[in-house]
Structure 1
Amino acid sequence: MNLRSLRYFVTIVELSGISRAARALHIAQPALTQHVAALEEKLKVQLLLRTVNGVVPTDAGMALYRNARQILRQIDQTVLEVQAQGDQPRGKVSIGMPTAVAYVLTVPLLGEIRRRYPEIELHIIENMSGILLELLSSGRLDMSFLYDGGRQAALKSFKATKVLDEELVYVSAAKEVVPSVSLQDLVDVDWVLPAAPGGTRQIIDTGFARLGRTPRVVAELSSAKALKGAILSGYGASILPPAIIMEDVARGEMRAASFTDVDLSRPLSLCVPANVPLSPAGQRVHDTAVEVVQMLIDPRVWPTVD
């Protein structure tokens, strides 16, 4: 095996097709097919299955993909670390953010990285926590913010740095300002809730269960934009991370209130793979991200239970 073949194979798996990978890599498709055949001959296993929609890895192919990603990442990081000695840290760094985190952190973090480390190219990927966990596990992210301790640091596969405990709040389009509410007393409320089985919804369902309540759910929505639109249209109230509705609250369009009878909080951690050290640029981004989060903790910007 050689590094070129491994890079080609990783690209094929990620694009789910040899022809798509050939176009992305700017090489002829027959040459790319020969590289795959050489890998299969060397390893004595079939690595890819052809389907009508492209190719998918076999179990052996997925094992090769996971390890090849780690090998290639370590090589790239070694090159960057050598180049960074005695100079400004440089290179690409990818960081994942759940939607609620991206709402408040993206612009401040980008600004700090540009100011402190102009040679670092920052890639911010916003998605649901479950998808970010998969991307981090497969080596496609250098680091990611994850809730619930990174799901217990993904059974010790990650190192997690806890940055805060975030409180979920009651959100409505009501005009009266109410600083706190009792979930038990919200008997007649129509609820527009984040869709299951996400982490936010799990916390909400657990809170209702502890009080012996079954919420009257009129809609489940996966998009933060859709949730806010449904609330503003009067279809119901919701329970959301405060960071995504603080601007609406400041404009007087929404009201947010803490719960007095149930704890709906979740820890947020910045997670990195335990077995792959960060590059110098990656370490700078990690440390800066933790610092910026602490700077943003404020009742009007990023309310927490800390």
Structure 2
Amino acid sequence: MNLRRLKYFVKIVDIGSLTQAAEVLHIAQPALSQQVATLEGELDQQLLIRTKRGVTPTEAGKILYTHARTILRQCEQAQLAVNSIGQTLRGQVAIGLAPGTSTSSLTMPLLQAVRNELPEVQVYLHENSGSVLNDKLLKGQLDMAVLYERSPLAGITSQPLLKEDLWLVGTCDCPGQSVDLLAVSEMNLLLPCDYSAVRARVDEAFSLRRLTAKIIGEIDSISTLTAAIASGMGVTVLPESAARSLCQAANGWMARIATPSMHLPLALNMSARGGLSPQAQAVKEILLSLVSRPSLENRELQLVS
């Protein structure tokens, strides 16, 4: 295998068409098909399934695609690391953010700090579910992802950042500064779908107390959830930073769930298969320095010991 064939193969899978990939790569389609055939011969495996609608990878092709992206990314990072010696860091750093993460406490300070300290570095933010973000990390499409800590995942390293308390948010009949889970069980709840870290923690708490949650709707969209809470339809449970943002937008109230107290650990995930580029490593260091600053601790975000 050589890097050029791997690059061709990745581009074909990304586009899903030999014809279109040939146009993007500025290579004749027969020549591109021959490169794929050579790669298949070297591996003694069929890598692509050709149909009238385009091409899709076989199981062997999917495995090669994942490794090829990692290999190509590592080669790019190696070149950047060598070229950046004694030079200003530049380039793009891709960061994933799971919905409900403490974006209000971390994202804006991070963007401002990167702009001040690394003016030639561009930060790309991608918001998606934790499972999708981890998949993109494994495929080399993201440098790092901030999400609520989950079970260990093969190929992913996870570094604890913060832990956030869960708060109840609503607009009608404020229960006070804190609320018991028993009282929450009597309210109409609007919660994320059951695959989210927030929902898993809420379900676990209700189960341990042998209570039944009165869930009247499942909403993943923050804008839709904000509108529903603002209408007085029900209440929701969110980590503090997300709760503060929704509370302000909906002109509502917040109450800490105190009995039992509940929190979610926030983590920084990265692929274990390859190191970070110089610019990504620099952004990571800025992020970790922001987490340790008192300004974040004062927002009720507690450092994970």
TM value normalised by structure 1: 0.90
2:291 is aligned to 293
Aligned residues: 301
| CA apart distance, 1:30 | 3.6
| CA apart distance, 1:171 | 0.9
2:229 is aligned to 231
Given that 2:8 and 2:32 are in contact with CA atoms closer than 8 Å, whether structure 1 keeps it comes out as yes
| CA apart distance, 1:274 | 2.5
1:255 is aligned to 253
Residue 203 of structure 2 corresponds to residue 188 of structure 1 = no
Secondary structure in 2 aligned to 1:96?
A: strand
| CA apart distance, 1:140 | 1.4
Residue 95 of structure 2 corresponds to residue 98 of structure 1 = no
Q: 1:251 to 1:212 in 2, by over 3 A?
A: same
Given that 2:239 and 2:263 are in contact with CA atoms closer than 8 Å, whether structure 1 keeps it comes out as no
1:138 is aligned to 139
Q: Deviations over 1:230-267 (max 9, x none)?
A: 11112111111222232443467111111121232111
* 1:149-168 to 2 correspondences below 5 Å: 150-152=150-152, 154-155=153-154, 157-168=155-166
RMSD: 2.2
For 2:253, the aligned partner's letter is: R
Q: 1:235 to 1:30 in 2, by over 3 A?
A: farther
- What is the alpha-carbon distance in structure 2 between the residues aligned to residue 170 and residue 34 of structure 1? 60
Residue 301 of structure 2 corresponds to residue 304 of structure 1 = yes
For 1:210, the aligned partner's letter is: L
Residue 80 of structure 2 corresponds to residue 80 of structure 1 = yes
Given that 1:145 and 1:269 are in contact with CA atoms closer than 8 Å, whether structure 2 keeps it comes out as yes
Q: Deviations over 1:188-244 (max 9, x none)?
A: 311111112222111111111111111111111111111111111121111112222
* 1:30-69 to 2 correspondences below 5 Å: 30-51=30-51, 53-69=53-69
Q: Structure 1: which 5+ residue stretches go unaligned?
A: none
Secondary structure in 2 aligned to 1:234?
A: coil
Given that 1:164 and 1:267 are in contact with CA atoms closer than 8 Å, whether structure 2 keeps it comes out as yes
Question: More deviation in 65-74 or 286-295?
Answer: 286-295
- What is the alpha-carbon distance in structure 2 between the residues aligned to residue 201 and residue 251 of structure 1? 22
Q: Deviations over 1:116-152 (max 9, x none)?
A: 011222222111111101111222111111322x533
Question: More deviation in 181-190 or 240-249?
Answer: 240-249
For 1:2, the aligned partner's letter is: N
- What is the alpha-carbon distance in structure 1 between the residues aligned to residue 169 and residue 59 of structure 2? 45
Q: Structure 2: which 5+ residue stretches go unaligned?
A: none
For 1:304, the aligned partner's letter is: L
Q: 1:239 to 1:23 in 2, by over 3 A?
A: farther
Secondary structure in 1 aligned to 2:287?
A: helix
Q: 1:131 to 1:122 in 2, by over 3 A?
A: same
Given that 2:159 and 2:267 are in contact with CA atoms closer than 8 Å, whether structure 1 keeps it comes out as yes
Residue 199 of structure 2 corresponds to residue 201 of structure 1 = yes
2:115 is aligned to 114
2:270 is aligned to 272
2:130 is aligned to 129
Q: 1:81 to 1:260 in 2, by over 3 A?
A: same
Secondary structure in 2 aligned to 1:100?
A: coil
